[in-house]
Amino acid sequence: MRIVELTEETRKNILENLLKRSPSSYGKFEQVVNGILEDVKMHGDQAVFDYSEKFDKVILNAQNLRVTEEEIEKAYKQVDKELINVIQKAIANIREYHEKQKRYSWFDSKPNGSILGQKITPIEKVGIYVPGGKAAYPSSVLMNVIPASVAGVNRIVMVTPPGRDGNIVSTTAVAAREAGVHEIYKVGGAQAIAALAYGTKSIPKVDKICGPGNIYVALAKKAVYGHVSIDSVAGPSEILVLADETANPRYVAADLLSQAEHDEMASAILVTTSRALAEQVSKEVDDFLQVLSRKEILEKSLQNYGYILIAASMEEAIDTVNEIASEHLEIVTKDPFGTMTRIQNAGAIFLGEYSSEPLGDYFAGPNHILPTNGTAKFFSPLSVDDFVKKSSIISYSREALEKVHKDIEIFAKAEGFTGHANSIAVRFENEKK
């Protein structure tokens, strides 16, 4: 990996380079995506079937579009029982973590006759997009579905592209059933997002769409935002390791490569105060590249977006970490918990040398659907909050309103809204007489 002395100029250049990976930088695909969305909006099922034949080389119709119970049972027979057991353990951890995020409606009754509160209501219908083929990740099924289930969503609809044999990935089907998906449809790409956003005869319109996908899926989600809600427009995966001289270079190298192997656009960065560690990590990365299976992807990812940055001080290192605002942040320092208190921007934070990033990807419990491309400065991980709505509750008695009605009328008139003022004043007009 390239080793770079951290300066204001190098930090600026790296940030600019990382931002090139944003889905917003790929506007050349938007026209194609918008055409697909409009076609599905106008022609419903038939457009979905046509695009599935064109892109996925599979013939779909109203009879075979939805995954049947028999197909799910067949999937269970094709998945190793040990993996099913692991999925069930992961579900227990993920559910336990997300149960702690649940909020409840509250009401505050005051002596003056007013009641204020907040009503929490689950979103009624949610669509979950799951990639297919080699990019099928049952772990992402769990991370999308379980918080929706904990929130109390009544209808969880999953879409995922089928293979040329007309079947969806077996591990995806099993994960969906274990996590609590209510219905699954064999459709992927921008056409799947359009079907969820607008509804077709066979696929229901949902209120929110979540889940990762390729650039076409990402741009389709961005385009339908407003017709429905979405979780985010996710960019490529990224990891940042903040380490000092106490870190184990072999562990650090392995962790950097755990994310670089996702795809050629993934980013892996080490920020350290130790040149010796930097050089050791670089050597360990080279050694690992000779034995890991996704060598070609790893090499291109590291060439494009891989860095080892040497900072003059821990303060400078932490400033850089906060500026990059990485999706995954590992802290491997003498006092990782103390260092963590100075971190402002990160999607998920892993503390200590035995808290490797894949622990969060698969098993620990916190959600692995995280803000990317610097959006951790203002976005949070997917959570139960993403699947509920909050309604304000206001109830005033006549006595409570009488004490403040003149204040409200003054405020309304100051803004030029005499209708607003009148709406309050009319309730006390008889008293003026």
End-to-end CA distance of the chain: 84
Full 3-state SS string of 183-197: EEECCCHHHHHHHHH
> Whole-angstrom Cα distance, residue 308 to residue 390?
44
Does residue 299 have an active-site annotation? no
Which of 36, 41, 73 lies closest to 55 in space, CA to CA? 36
Does residue 327 have an active-site annotation? yes
Contacts of 180 (CB under 8 A, 6+ apart): 145, 146, 149, 156
User: Distances in Å between the alpha carbon of 13 and those of 6, 19, 372?
Assistant: 11, 10, 18
370 with 381: CB under 8 angstroms? yes
Q: Catalytic one among 284, 316, 327, 353?
A: 327
Q: Catalytic one among 328, 357, 368, 409?
A: 328
Contacts of 366 (CB under 8 A, 6+ apart): 97, 348, 360, 381
Phi, psi of 291 (to 5 degrees): -120, -15
Contacts of 45 (CB under 8 A, 6+ apart): 62, 65, 200, 201, 202, 203
Token look-up 């028999």 returns 70
Cite the active site residues. 327-328
